């Protein structure tokens, strides 16, 4: 049986294909269209999933969408009616789109796919919950989903057992932990639904001088619930503004304009906003445990990408084990919707665990060579045998070369985990500044992840027995190791860890191991292979273009190493 899951029309459109209970393929549309956070119809992603499975659309048994548009439209109408006339402009923009297209989503999907069949719809937060629990390693677990908004729900708490999921409690729009964080993001001059992680990256540089102001924005209660102080927000009547003038007067400064100077005040707002986010998230998780006691917690929704809060939840609540949906935002809804139909609705037993995210396209030698040929004389090649690969890469990285790394199937979700990565030396204290300013052309404060051999992670990080294969936890770097790996140690002494095993990614593992043999440090700096403002590279052509444009020291394709023709011999 084949189930095609689809998410689109808000942000991070994606498709996923489940065949006989296993996730065969999943990909975000942005990787093909090259439009970051592309929200439009994921035609390229759907075509890829079908191609990977060797199927035509007529062979797919069920097509499912990750939310219920009619319920969402009801919420929009009720909210805009209750805030009229402030909502006039947002309503006048939204109504034509809904009347023309979104209300007829079933017909649109049928037309786009070229089929006349039933289209199934799953509630947004049920898609999130299913996308975490049904692919987790747990037979039973507490489930917590947190994001901006789905139809009405912004937060849900529930439990999963076997193939069943029960969501017992929800918090509804306009009260949203995700939209609280988005307002902080917008106030700091960053783009909403794109740059929330910039707030996380900036936060360690600040002080907690604005905590009381941030607490005035959102009230958390002993039962785990929370409520926004709507005097400061505009998202319930505006499609473009997250906050109003009272918000700016609260902080006694106007919002920062994009690309202008970041001051100590902005750092303090980021730190304080993050701190309050963590307070609310931890309180939610504690309450979830009281309602549904378990050692296991499944997290999903865009807020589950707040890796610092994830760590605080595990430090400060009774949960012992954690599974975070690696594509926790809307793109992962395609996965959750498909598994919800297969396992929960149709009653098939669970037989799949999401233990890696290499679910995207791979490319053969012909495609690789075509990309190099298109680059012409700008690159020079060096063929590496399997036995030469790891020691050669390790030596280059030890010598502070910055290398684009492209192999195998593309990752699903926002993190590059060793197949579409840029790798560098974490031991060089100048490497963070080099990669940020000269390679990726981005802000000084943006952090980089340490990729470490799992069996040696506890030597460098206070992991408390937890694993972090998807780069979704931020434990402390051990005090005696912070000067050893300064390029991947945050300003507050933590690191966003990726633990790597030979089973999950053998080539990447062997390079880290070889680097460890040379230096005594089995850790590499790992960041996504993309230029600023672009999605992670998908194809060899994307990789070559980025390699040349970013002036990387080297580019690794499966079995081949390339350098720019103008660069000195490596």
List the chain pLDDT tens, one digit each, 570 residues: 999 999 999 889 999 999 999 999 999 999 999 999 999 999 999 999 999 999 999 999 999 999 999 999 889 888 888 999 988 888 888 888 877 878 889 999 999 999 999 999 999 999 999 999 999 999 999 999 999 999 999 999 999 999 999 999 999 999 999 999 999 999 999 999 888 999 999 999 999 999 999 999 999 999 999 999 999 999 999 988 999 999 999 999 999 999 999 999 999 999 999 999 999 999 999 999 999 999 999 999 999 999 999 999 999 999 999 999 999 999 999 999 999 999 999 999 999 999 999 999 999 989 988 998 898 888 888 888 889 999 999 999 999 999 999 999 999 999 999 999 999 999 999 999 999 888 888 888 888 999 999 999 999 999 988 999 999 999 999 999 999 999 999 999 999 999 999 999 999 999 999 999 999 999 999 999 999 889 999 999 999 999 999 989 999 998 889 998 766 555
Structure tokens at 452: 């470490």
CA 173 to chain centre: 23
CA distance 476 to 496: 9
Cα distances from 122 to residues 23, 39, 131, in angstroms, run 18, 18, 12
The CATH architecture one would assign to domain 365-564 is Alpha-Beta Complex (3.90)
Q: Which SS3 state, helix, strand or coil, does residue 358 take?
A: strand
Residues facing residue 461 across a β-bridge: 477
SS3 letters across 292-318:
CCCCEEEEECHHHHCHHHHHHHHHHCC
**CATH 3.40.50.2300 is the classification of domain 172-324:** no
Domains 2-135+325-345 and 172-324 share a fold: yes
pLDDT for position 107: 94
- Listed by start position, the domains of the chain span 2-135+325-345, 172-324, 365-564
C-alpha 402/C-alpha 218 separation (Å) is: 43
**β-pairing, 153-161 with 140-146?**
antiparallel
| CA 350 to the chain's CA centroid | 24
Of the options 3.30.70.270, 3.30.160.40, 3.30.420.40, 3.40.50.720, the CATH number for the domain spanning 2-135+325-345 = 3.30.420.40
Return d(Cα 472, Cα 307) in angstroms, integer: 5
Cα angle for residues 467, 473, 476 (degrees, 5° grid): 95
**374: nearest Cα among 560, 553, 543, 561:** 543
Angle, helices 307-316 vs 264-291, to 10°: value is 50
List the structure tokens of 36. Answer: 């970051």
pTM of the model: 0.95
Chain-centre distance for alpha carbon 215: 26
Other C-beta atoms closer than 10 Å to the C-beta of 75 total 17
């Amino acid at each position: 049986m084949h189930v095609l899951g689809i998410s689109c029309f808000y942000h991070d459109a994606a498709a996923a294909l489940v065949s006989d209970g296993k996730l065969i393929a999943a990909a975000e549309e942005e990787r093909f269209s090259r439009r970051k956070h592309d929200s439009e119809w994921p035609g390229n992603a759907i075509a890829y999933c079908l191609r990977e499975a060797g199927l035509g659309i007529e062979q797919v048994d069920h097509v499912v969408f990750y939310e219920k548009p009619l319920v969402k439209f009801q919420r929009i109408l009720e909210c805009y009616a209750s805030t009229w006339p402030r909502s006039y402009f947002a309503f006048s923009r939204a109504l034509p789109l809904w009347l023309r297209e979104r209300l007829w989503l079933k017909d649109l999907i049928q037309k786009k796919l070229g089929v006349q069949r039933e289209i199934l719809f799953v509630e947004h937060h049920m898609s999130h919950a299913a996308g975490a629990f049904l692919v987790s390693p747990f037979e039973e677990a507490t489930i917590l989903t947190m994001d901006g908004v789905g139809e009405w729900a912004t937060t849900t708490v529930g439990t999963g057992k076997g193939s069943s999921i029960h969501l017992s409690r929800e918090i509804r729009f306009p009260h949203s932990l995700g939209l609280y964080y988005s307002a902080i993001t917008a106030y700091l001059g960053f783009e909403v639904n794109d740059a929330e992680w910039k707030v996380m990256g900036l936060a360690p540089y600040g002080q907690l001088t604005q905590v009381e102001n941030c607490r005035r924005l959102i009230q958390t209660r002993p039962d785990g619930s929370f409520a926004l102080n709507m005097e400061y927000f505009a998202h319930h009547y505006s499609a473009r503004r997250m906050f109003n003038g009272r918000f700016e007067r609260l902080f006694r400064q106007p919002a920062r304009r994009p690309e202008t100077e970041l001051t100590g005040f902005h750092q303090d707002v980021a730190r304080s906003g993050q701190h309050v986010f963590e307070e609310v998230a931890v309180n939610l998780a504690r309450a979830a445990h009281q309602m549904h006691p378990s050692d296991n917690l499944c997290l999903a929704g865009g807020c589950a990408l707040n890796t610092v809060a994830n760590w605080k939840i595990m430090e400060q609540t009774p949960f012992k084990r954690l599974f975070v949906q690696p594509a926790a935002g809307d793109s992962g809804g395609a996965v959750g919707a498909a598994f919800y139909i297969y396992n929960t609705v149709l009653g098939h037993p669970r037989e799949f665990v999401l233990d890696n995210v290499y679910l995207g396209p791979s490319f053969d030698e012909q495609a690789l060579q075509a990309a190099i040929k298109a680059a012409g004389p700008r690159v020079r090649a060096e063929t590496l045998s399997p036995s030469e690969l790891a020691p050669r890469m390790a030596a280059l990285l030890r010598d502070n070369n910055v290398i684009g790394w492209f192999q195998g199937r593309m990752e699903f979700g926002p993190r590059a985990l060793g197949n579409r990565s840029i790798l560098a030396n974490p031991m060089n204290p100048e490497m963070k500044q080099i990669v940020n300013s000269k390679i990726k052309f981005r802000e000084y404060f943006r952090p980089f992840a340490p990729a470490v051999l799992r069996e040696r992670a506890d030597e460098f990080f206070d992991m408390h027995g937890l694993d972090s294969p998807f780069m979704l936890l931020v434990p402390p770097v051990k005090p005696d190791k912070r000067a050893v790996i300064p390029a991947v140690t945050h300003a507050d002494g933590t690191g966003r860890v990726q633990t790597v095993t030979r089973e999950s990614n053998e080539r990447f593992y062997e390079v880290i191991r070889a680097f460890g043999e040379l230096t005594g440090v089995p850790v590499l700096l790992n960041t996504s292979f993309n230029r600023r403002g672009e999605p992670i590279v998908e194809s060899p052509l994307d990789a070559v273009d980025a390699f040349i444009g970013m002036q990387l020291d080297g580019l690794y394709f499966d079995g081949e190493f390339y350098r720019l023709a103008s660069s000195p011999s490596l």
